[in-house]
């Protein structure tokens, strides 16, 4: 799925985190990733990737309507081997330190 297609989906359908994840899964982003001290691990394939092996295809920010601590960010990621999936993080002070450190090191980010 091209980046412009993701932008169109964002404008039309992606108003909640759950709806966004569902649309990304329909587009082939089926793996779930978890940031670990040694890299980004796919919970689907059990492979671990370095920041140089991952591209951020798109990201989506969600803000809690009544509570700023409900804010989150969803990353649509593609690994060098073609595996596609998502990574969810809290936004701001609620963010996961492993995710923040990993994302800062990723060289390729689109949106």
The pLDDT tens digits for 10-68 are: 555 557 888 899 999 999 999 999 999 999 999 999 999 999 999 999 999 887 665 55
Q: What is the pTM of this model?
A: 0.81
The pLDDT tens digits for 71-107 are: 899 999 999 999 999 999 987 777 788 898 899 999 7
The C-alpha torsion from 99 through 71 and 26 to 59, rounded to 10°, is -60
């Amino acid at each position: 799925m091209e980046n412009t297609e993701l932008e169109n989906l964002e404008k039309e359908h992606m108003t909640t985190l759950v709806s966004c994840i569902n649309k990304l899964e329909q587009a082939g982003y089926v793996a779930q990733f978890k940031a670990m001290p040694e890299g980004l691990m796919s919970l689907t394939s059990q492979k671990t990737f370095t920041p140089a092996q991952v591209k951020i295809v798109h990201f989506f920010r969600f803000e809690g309507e009544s509570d700023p601590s409900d804010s989150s960010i969803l990353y649509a990621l593609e690994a060098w081997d073609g595996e596609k999936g998502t990574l969810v993080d809290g936004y701001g002070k609620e963010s996961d330190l492993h995710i923040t450190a990993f994302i800062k090191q990723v060289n390729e980010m689109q949106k």
